Chains A and B, each alone.
Chain A
Amino acid sequence: MAEAAVQPAERGEDGHHTSLGLSNDKMGMWTLISSECLFFGALISTYLIYVDRTADGPAPGEIFDIPFTSVSTFILLMSSLGMVLALAAIQAGDMRGFRTWTLATAAMGATFLAGQIYEFTFFVEEGFGLTTSAFSSSFFVLTGFHGVHVAVGILMLLGIWAASLLGRLTPAHDETVENIGLYWHFVDIVWIVLFTVVYLIPAE
């Protein structure tokens, strides 16, 4: 949805005026994020209900590799810094800096995703798959959907990067970058919750 933001024609009735003073795109992004809170809320609730229903499969403390996931968490959190620097660059009119930081943010997101794919593969090889138990199903679907959100974020970042190369994204469109940043930071914050709830709390 934020990709629609690249076209300023959809911003408001006449390009700038809106009833509440907030642009349509930004309000749309906040509205989407509020809905996503319920989405992840439902997934996290399911996980918490099922966390000890491991059937005969591994329990949380037995399977997670916290040092490894801590590293990928650190990379994902640093990508938020990259997002901030990309926005700062485009607001300063520095398109080269904007492109650099946008790609760096996407790369950090991709590294996180690669870590998740590695982790999933490792788990499955250890006999902990989607079908193992109610706990395993809720783990894979919860963290998997977070991964999908990261992937969508990467696509949006590549979208604004491509748009800037084509000259369709200029410093006048800095709000588009800001809105995608809102999404990216939201997905990061969700991961902070997930990392705490899924990995840290059960590891006594």
Chain B
Amino acid sequence: MTATAEQPTTGQGAFRRPTATTGLSSWFTTIDHKKIGILYFVTAFLFFSLGGIEALLIRAQLASPDAAFLTRDQYNQLFTTHGITMIFFGVMPLSVAFFNYLLPLMIGARDVAFPRLNALSYWIFLFAGIFLFSSMFLGGLPDGGWFGYAPLSILGGDPLGETLGASSAPNVRMLFYSVGLQLAGISSLAGAINFIVTVLNLRAPGMTLMRMPVFVWMSLVTSVLMLFAMPIIGVALWQLMFDIGYGANFFNPAQGGDPVLWQHMFWLFGHPEVYILILPAFGIVSEILPVFSRKPLFGYTAIVFSGIAIGFMGWGVWAHHMFAVGLGPVANAAFALSTMFIAVPTGIKIFNWIATLWGGQLRFTTPMLFAIGLVAMFTIGGLSGVTHAVVPHNYQQTDTYYVVAHFHYVLFGGAIFGLMAGFYYWFPKVKGRFMNERLGKLHFWLMIIGFNLTFGPMHILGLQGMPRRVATYPDGMGWNFWNLVATVGGFIIALGFLVFVINVLKSRKNGVPAGNDPWDARTLEWTTTSPPPPHDFDVIPQVTARDELWNRKYAAGGPGRQPMRVPSGGSADAPAEPGAHDPGAGDAHDIHMPDPSYYPLVAAIGMPIMAYGVLFTPILIAVGGVITIAGLFGWALEPSAEEH
């Protein structure tokens, strides 16, 4: 079909190839990267909100000593699911939402390399989340920690013995963990392949690797990390599943298994995962800071290469999560060194961002505030991270709230602030309207105050010895005050997100209209309309500079440090297209976009059915397998609508 007109379809196979690109049903069949990006964001934000509610319940329990707001069993379920939700169903898919929406636009492409695979990734992710949360009604949420250490992950739903006799039964709750994360991992893996091929192969003419926006670079590094980290956790999760569900002995010492193997595999995935969570946010602020400083990014090359360096070195630091396991002084010393080294490329980024701000004409819009928030908060988290690298210090901190404080400063203060910055920054592109600035700034200040109130005191609590993952704490330890402060802070954060949701609902219909380029930005996505047409660009852009749009709007190399506006003529509103004779040029009606398809949804539906089969009966595995295979065959043989 053409990008704009509806055409009648005929089809062979079970389904007619759908053609609708608007309306409710189009969301089920869409393979447009922008719509999938929106689906990802909305879904991930819903899961993120669930994770936030879990966190509030945890904080409510910890507000006072010896509290009985939650039982210990409920507490275990909540802290475990909070971690899983935020990491696998919150931050990761929120980042993927940005990849989906922005990568093709930023590199001057019309879609991702494999649009239907992209839809498949989304549907698997959605079903994985539903599967995981359905455990709430099927015996309880996972309760063995997001790290799932054996033997807690294998034996007994209730090691504390609140339900006597339960501790020898296989831990069915952690089957939801192993199988649910397996599904999420398949989704991430498919996404990683898609984004790597998209970035490497679909760049517009002139978009060399070293002209790519830093966000694109960081997406590429993140995708490579996912590509290699997912199979490792995949294997570990399969092994865990066989241990729990089928009596295998991978992590059962009684039959020769080794729980430490799980820890190695988990953290060999888990540390790259940390960078999977943070690098997209680094990419986002690297786009935002130059625009609102009106200066090119300082040290582009250094930032790109430090991102690549993180991508390599991230594989050599995993055992710093295991210093207290007893790997011996040589291993601990080696991983302590590599951990200190990896702070270097991260520090390079921070200094380059500060240098980008230095001497710029700063505009403190909401996205800019969040971006600066990331730089400041992540730096605090990075510094406490270096203290973990010191092994004796680490022994002291292990399993205390100091660690909780650290990783929330990098993942919340880093990743979430970055993602929020990106949301405010690109919302005008997606919806064609600005977010409300006043509410946006309120959101920012509530969040940064609430965030520091919540997680700042945890440093103190941790150094005072308060253990994490324990449902309550006794009175008289000196922990009461800071715990109460942290709880108050947590609810302030929640208030901030409430303001955010109100702002989104208000602005999507009634926001101030934004033009194509409302921020005076520098990258390709701002050259097309807001929102972009289904085919993204009427004419595939020709790229001649790193800050392509600035280069088009302003003459390069004027005297002094300020870029100079081109006096008149071919400037901002209608940039002259150097590629007017480009073969991609022409009437938008001639642009052929891939057709929507039902098959990604069909293939994905089989997977949670198989997952339930692991829990209940092998028949479901067979049924789900048949559905998935049928979906993939239909996919492979699907005609495009225009072939008839």
A residues at B contact (CB < 8 Å): 1, 3-4, 6-7, 9-10, 12-14, 18-20, 22, 24, 27-28, 31-32, 34-36, 38-39, 42-43, 46, 49-50, 53-55, 130-138, 140-141, 145, 155, 159, 162-163, 166, 168
Contacts and interface: CB of A to CB of B under 8 A. Distances in A.
B255 A133 contact: yes
A140 B252 CA distance: 16
A39 B186 CA distance: 12
Contacts of B257: 50, 53, 134, 137
A134 B249 contact: yes
Nearest to A29: B193
Contact of B540 (A13, A49, A55, A135): A13
Given A19-B202, A133-B255, A42 B594 contact: no
A130 B247 contact: yes
Nearest to A168: B637
A55 B256 contact: yes
Given A42-B265, A134-B256, A163-B637, 6 more contacts: A4-B117, A46-B239, A137-B242, A137-B257, A145-B238, A168-B639
B273 to A, nearest CB: 14
B625 to A, nearest CB: 10
Interface string B1-29: 00000000000100000000000000000
A35 B640 CA distance: 30
Contacts of A53: 255-257
A24 B113 contact: yes
A134 B636 CA distance: 40
Between B200, B252, B636, the greatest number of chain A beta carbons within 10 A of the residue's beta carbon is seen for B636
Interface stretch (B56-64, B519-527, B627-635): B627-635
8 contacts: A13-B584, A18-B202, A19-B202, A19-B207, A38-B228, A38-B232, A46-B239, A159-B637
Main secondary structure of the interface of B (DSSP, over half): helix
A162 B637 contact: yes
Interface in B179-220: 189-190, 192-194, 196-197, 200-203, 207
B360 interface: no
Interface of B: 12, 109-110, 113-117, 189-190, 192-194, 196-197, 200-203, 207, 227-228, 230-232, 234-236, 238-239, 242-243, 246-250, 252, 255-258, 261, 265, 540, 583-584, 592, 594, 629, 632-633, 635-640
A49 B114 contact: no
A10 B636 contact: no
Given A9-B592, A46-B250, A130-B248, A141 B242 contact: yes
A55 B250 CA distance: 12
B86 to A, nearest CB: 25
Contacts of A13: 109-110, 202, 540, 584
A141 B257 CA distance: 14
Contacts of B190: 1
Contact of B200 (A20, A130, A140, A145): A20
A27 B256 contact: no
Given A31-B193, A135-B256, A141-B239, A19 B201 contact: yes
Contacts of B584: 13-14
Nearest to A156: B636
B510 to A, nearest CB: 37
Contacts of B636: 3-4, 6-7, 159, 163
Given A49-B258, A53-B257, A131-B246, A42 B236 contact: yes
Contact of B594 (A10, A24, A36, A134): A10
Interface centre among A27, A31, A136 (most CB of B within 10 A): A31
A119 to B, nearest CB: 18
Given A38-B228, A134-B256, A27 B250 contact: no
B234 A39 contact: yes
Nearest to A54: B256
Contacts of A35: 189, 192-193, 227-228, 230-231
Nearest to B232: A42
A19 B540 CA distance: 13
A7 B242 CA distance: 37
Contacts of B239: 46, 137, 141
B115 A42 contact: no
A9 B643 CA distance: 11
Given A3-B633, A6-B637, A24-B113, A137 B203 contact: no
A137 B250 contact: yes
A1 B635 CA distance: 10
A50 B261 CA distance: 10
Contact of A9 (B196, B252, B640): B640
A31 B256 contact: no
Nearest to B207: A19
A173 B525 CA distance: 34
A18 B201 CA distance: 5
A166 B637 contact: yes
A60 to B, nearest CB: 13
B202 A3 contact: no
A39 B189 CA distance: 12
Contact of A19 (B12, B203, B249): B203
A35 B235 CA distance: 12
Contacts of A140: 248
Nearest to B236: A42
Closest 6 CB pairs of A and B: A53-B256, A3-B636, A134-B256, A39-B231, A137-B248, A42-B235
